[in-house]
Amino acid sequence: MKVAFQGEPGAYSEQAVFDYFGDVETLPCESFDVMFDSVASGKCNVALAPIENSLAGSIHQNYDLLLRHDLHIAGEYLLRVRHCLIVNPGVVKEDVKKAISHPQALGQCAGYLRSHGIKAEQVYDTAGSVKMLKELGALDVAAIASRRAAELYGMQILEEGIEDNPENYTRFLAIQKETVIPEGEAKTSIVFTLKNVPGSLFKAMSVFALRDLDLTKIESRPLQGKPWEYLFYIDFIGSAQDETVKRALDHLGEYALMLRVLGSYPRFKG
């Protein structure tokens, strides 16, 4: 089995791959587009795509890519993100004047960096920042990344868990060509568009409320080529195989201009 992820080896996404799938072959991808294309082309069996972070919110590009490709969600995983302050061997904290990392990681550690008088500088990737630091050999610069990245590049961890908020989780979706029929408690993700008329979203939401279906997420995205019109992405508890869910989707289809089931999959239990 071969699993695609976005980022350098040692990225949080790669850690999520091993946590979720176990001992598999991985394919690092330079962008989310390349990651999705690797599954669509058959180069990989599946991709593990980050879709939202509990602090930073949704990763909108991956919502757009889900719609663009004929692929299906087959599972989900929640990764607890623990940021480490990583340096070249022998460096002590007092030496560190600057930290490099992905903008999101820097933002999640902004309070820590301020309190230690460390300047932040953005680079393209968390694990990539460790790779860059190793190549530079700088003794006054730290990288912010995962424990795995530090171990992979033979670097030193000065401190672990430097994020300002410990409730830092990233939700990942397993994306593949084949649909799955989940056993046990399931989640379903859908996307739809509506006529821009009064009450249309209320009516769409009512199909779930009338059947006591639990919505876990709703996200709107601009509909490309149609200014001020929107796509609605919804996650809810239940499988598209369930009779109650089938009736809800049939009912929604009466209002929706477009409706697509992105996948039903096992709900992650951490």
> pLDDT by residue (tens digit) across 177-200?
999 999 999 999 999 999 989 999
In a domain, 236, yes or no: yes
Q: Which conformational region is residue 90 in: left (phi greater than 0), alpha (psi within -120 to 50 degrees), or beta?
A: left
In a domain, 204, yes or no: yes
Residue span of the structural domain in which 25 resides = 2-81+168-176
**How many distinct structural domains can be found in the chain?**
3
Residues taking part in catalysis: 170, 172
- C-alpha distance from residue 55 to each of 46, 59, 125, 191, 243 (Å): 26, 12, 18, 23, 35
- CATH number of the CATH domain containing 88: 3.40.190.10
Residues 43 and 149 in one domain: no
Residues 262 and 211 in one domain: yes
Give 57's pLDDT tier (boundaries 50, 70, 90).
Answer: confident
Span 3-19, mean pLDDT? 95
pLDDT digits (tens, 9 = 90+) for 121-141: 999 889 999 999 999 999 999
Q: Write down the pLDDT at residue 270.
A: 73
Predicted structure pTM score: 0.91
Report the SS3 class of residue 248: helix
Q: CA–CA separation, 195 vs 215, rounded Å?
A: 21
- CATH number of the CATH domain containing 253: 3.30.70.260
pLDDT over 90 percentage in the chain: 91
